[in-house]
Amino acid sequence: MNVFTHPRDLKAAAGREDGEGSVQVQLDPTLEIGTAKVFAIYGKGGIGKSTTSSNLSVAFSMLGKRVLQIGCDPKHDSTFTLTKSLIPTVIDILAQVDFHTEELRADDFVFEGYNGVRCVEAGGPPAGTGCGGYVVGQTVKLLKEHHLLEDTDVVIFDVLGDVVCGGFASPLQHAERALIVAANDFDSIFAMNRIVAAIKAKSKNYQVRLGGVIANRSRETDQIDRFNAAIGLKRLAHIRDLDAVRLSRLKKRTLFEMDPSPEVLAVQREYLQLAEMLWAGSEELDANPMPDREIFDFLGYD
């Protein structure tokens, strides 16, 4: 149920509830995904989370894993390089049947993409009319009702922008590891610091832990590495700023479908190594984010 709770009511409750001290959607504690390894991908808006998520999904599938990617953005464009189309969203499909979930079949909202990756777009309410966290919850509920998580090895949530409100933090209820995509610049590292704070807050109530940083669209990683060392993060992969990545989006393809130039083969290897590392079990990171003013002074050069 989509319930908003006032801070004073939370403070009156026994113990510490999820969302204490804030006004946000209270998450349903019974919605558990099961045995699959679950990863939530966060990062500044426009930093390449969907590209990262889709190529990581393919990399897992290349390792023989059964993969489900869930796009958590009203733009519903997380999976278009996998499916070659903008697939219908869960919220749109539910609206068509007046939210009678029993009328839906799995193939109404789950679509097969490249190399067998299954794709779902949660979608979202129109701007200013509701909370994306409710939509994520409904999506997981539907997947469970149709037993689609029972034969899944890996679930990847591709989460909207750098929004860290209670609603768009809801994938953290389900994730084992949260990964952050960042470029080697001020804005994405500043956003990453705030995302770290959100993940750390959720880790008090859920099993999610920080998995690390995927450096993206950057020739160098010096600023990311310096920040990581200061707060206790770790870089897991470096996807360089390659024209092949831009072209893959325009061609509506994953990087695993592009012509095998040396640079494309190199980035494919990077994704495969990342998938292997995550499947083997990545380290739990206990990072301590900086206050906004401190990171403002920390980043950059004198």
Catalytic residue among 37, 49, 65, 202: 49
The alpha carbon of residue 74 and the mean position of all alpha carbons in its chain are separated, in whole angstroms, by: 14
**What is the amino acid identity at position 86?**
L
Catalytic residue among 18, 162, 200, 202: 162
The yes-or-no answer on residue 37 being catalytic is no
The yes-or-no answer on residue 202 being catalytic is no
The yes-or-no answer on residue 44 being catalytic is yes
* Dihedral sign computed on CA atoms, order 180, 185, 191, 192: positive
* Length of the chain measured in residues: 302
For residues 163, 169, 174 and 179, what is the CA-based torsion angle, rounded to 10 degrees? 40
Catalytic residue among 18, 37, 44, 73: 44
What is the set of active-site residues?
44, 49, 75, 162
